[in-house]
Structure 1
Amino acid sequence: MIGLYIRKYTSDFTPPERIVDFYKNIFDLVSITHDKSKGWDRESESKLNRDDLELIFERFCFEMFLEDKLLFGQALFIEKIKKSLVKYELTTSPYLVMNDFTKYLCLILQDGTEFTFIHRSIHEFYLAKFISKLEIENAKKIFNKKIKPIVVDNLTFFISHLNKYFYYKLFLLPIFETVKENSFFQFNYLKNNQIPQDILSYFECVAHDFDEFFISSSSLIKFLIHDSDNKQELIYFLNSYIFESMYDNEHYKLSHTINGIADITNPKFTKELHKHMNENLKFQERLEHLTLLYNDINRYIEIKENEVTDEDLSDI
């Protein structure tokens, strides 16, 4: 990947401003050898043009996503290329396309009898590109069946840049609606207000070095997802939007100790914890951010779905 970045920079002396821009340019970068004095294009063995090769590669990445494989043998490789060619009604040898992917484009490496992508993120970007161009009902099926909320996911990151509407409509909004339906997080909090006690009740304190305590993330998980059918969505929400705002073991001084040791079963500690949280500007800002983000998600979807209305077309 570093080599590709260097080739991108040396080919036109313009480092990409965003990581997504780098990935967008990779296919052109690897499929064209530019000689500044003469100018010439390498020819693919399959005789497919760059656009068709990229189309097939995107579909191939999707096929391997369905198989849940990043390492595969030649038989599966050829099978999925054949299927991709049929989907787009392109006629050429799948073996020549395989050579294009491995020798001409060099986006897939051969290691003995097996093949793999030059880097996992190459697969993720072109998979995201494939999904981002789908008709929405087909994209929705993929999100519902195959794209589950996890803590770190390059696929949804790429989709968020390639098709923000899909990212909001099919990924983030369902998560926020699930949280809203299954918790006291209602996304209506504004900074400097009192944090609702229902939300504070999710948080407990745990002992930490004699007379200090910090908030227990495990207790929040316990309260919020107890017997829930939507654990993945709720844990994703907690990790992405709550825990990251709760410092790295930020802790407070307790006023209630016995011989310098905290008895966290004392209800005074929880009451004191909630008081600290109400005074914690960073946590207030995080809760307000959730309100603003939820509103932004819904506003963006509404604007996108009303870009062209019947009224706009009434005079045609």
Structure 2
Amino acid sequence: MQQSRLYIKKFNTDFSPPENITSFYKNIFEVVAITHDKTKGGYTRQSSSNLKQDKLELIFERFCFECYKIDKTSFERNEIIAILEIALNRLCITSCSGSQILDDFCDYLCLIVRDGINFTFIHRSIYEYYVALFFSKLSTENAERVIPKINELNILNFLKILNKYYFNKYFLIIKLNYFIAKYNNSIKTYELKQKVPENFIHLFFLGDRDKIYLNKDIFEDLRNQGYLLDLLRKLLLQVDSVYQCSN
């Protein structure tokens, strides 16, 4: 519901629907700031931190990443201020406090809301987008180290759009190679620009082509790989065959 409201706000702000879900989030800071000012009869409210919009967005991006690191999106006031202080410290911003930034995110930009005694994101997808945005800007060294560990489908989908090269090189190819090496060492290598190799798909099939038998051992291994499991599901939906699990 909150996501739909933000989508409508985007349309009402500049009279143009977002071209896609990523372009919608790309402009979210501008949308919420303009919308907030319009609801105040044209009065432009100053942020508590006195930081410009681009700087606030950078802090929000880092804050989302810090939340991702601890796998938490709902906080008591002291907790969220502490995480915001970490984000400010990482960005070497000393002109304001975590408490001021929290006021801006809650009252000025309305991206953080109070839920009882806790604070949380107005919509989880906003958090997921900014985590992916953070990953998309990493150095190649850091990207190679952390992106293969991502296991949240929505974050990966955002990353695929924001930085397709990073997604392919540091996630998809590595994951595909893992299964290929583990279950079929005879499969040849393939180029980054190619589609998902057909040999990878074949790993999940046994028997003739009239019926498809899912290899249970590989499928169970894949259950821990959220994105690849979803990828396989989409590939299977394109095949007009009878599916059976092998023992």
TM over 0.5: yes
1:221 is aligned, of 200, 216, 221, to 216
State the distance in 1 between where 2:115 and 2:136 align. 31
Q: Secondary structure of the residue that 1:232 maps to in structure 2?
A: coil
The answer for unaligned runs of 5 or more in structure 1 is 190-194, 206-212, 253-263, 265-269, 271-316
Contact 1:73 1:113 (C-alpha < 8 Å) held by counterparts: yes
Q: Which residue of 1 aligns with 2:182?
A: 182
Number of equivalences: 228
Are residues 187 and 31 of structure 1, via their aligned partners in 2, closer, same or farther at CA, if it must alter by over 3 Å? Answer: farther
State the distance in 2 between where 1:176 and 1:200 align. 11
Task: State the shift of 1:139 in Å.
Answer: 2.3
For 1:66, give the aligned amino acid.
K
Q: Which residue of 2 aligns with 1:312?
A: none
Q: Does 1:77 align with 2:44?
A: no
Are residues 31 and 119 of structure 1, via their aligned partners in 2, closer, same or farther at CA, if it must alter by over 3 Å? Answer: same
Task: State the shift of 1:122 in Å.
Answer: 0.5
- 1:235-282 Cα shifts (integer Å, max 9, x gaps): 854541366325699439xxxxxxxxxxx9xxxxx9xxxxxxxxxxxx
Q: Which residue of 2 aligns with 1:45?
A: 48
Q: Does 1:155 align with 2:147?
A: no
For 1:171, give the aligned amino acid.
F
Task: State the shift of 1:67 in Å.
Answer: 0.9
Task: Give the aligned CA root-mean-square deviation in angstroms.
Answer: 3.3
Contact 1:32 1:42 (C-alpha < 8 Å) held by counterparts: no
State the distance in 1 between where 2:204 and 2:62 align. 48
Task: State the shift of 1:2 in Å.
Answer: 1.0
Q: Which residue of 2 aligns with 1:8?
A: 10
For 1:164, give the aligned amino acid.
K
Task: State the shift of 1:231 in Å.
Answer: 6.7
Q: TM-score under structure 1 normalisation?
A: 0.63
Q: Which residue of 1 aligns with 2:165?
A: 165
For 2:26, give the aligned amino acid.
K
- 1:97-141 Cα shifts (integer Å, max 9, x gaps): 101111111111111211111111000001111111121212222
The answer for unaligned runs of 5 or more in structure 2 is 191-197
Q: Which residue of 1 aligns with 2:137?
A: 133
Q: Which residue of 2 aligns with 1:232?
A: 224
Q: Which residue of 1 aligns with 2:195?
A: none
Task: State the shift of 1:12 in Å.
Answer: 1.0
State the distance in 2 between where 1:49 and 1:8 align. 20
State the distance in 1 between where 2:213 and 2:75 align. 43
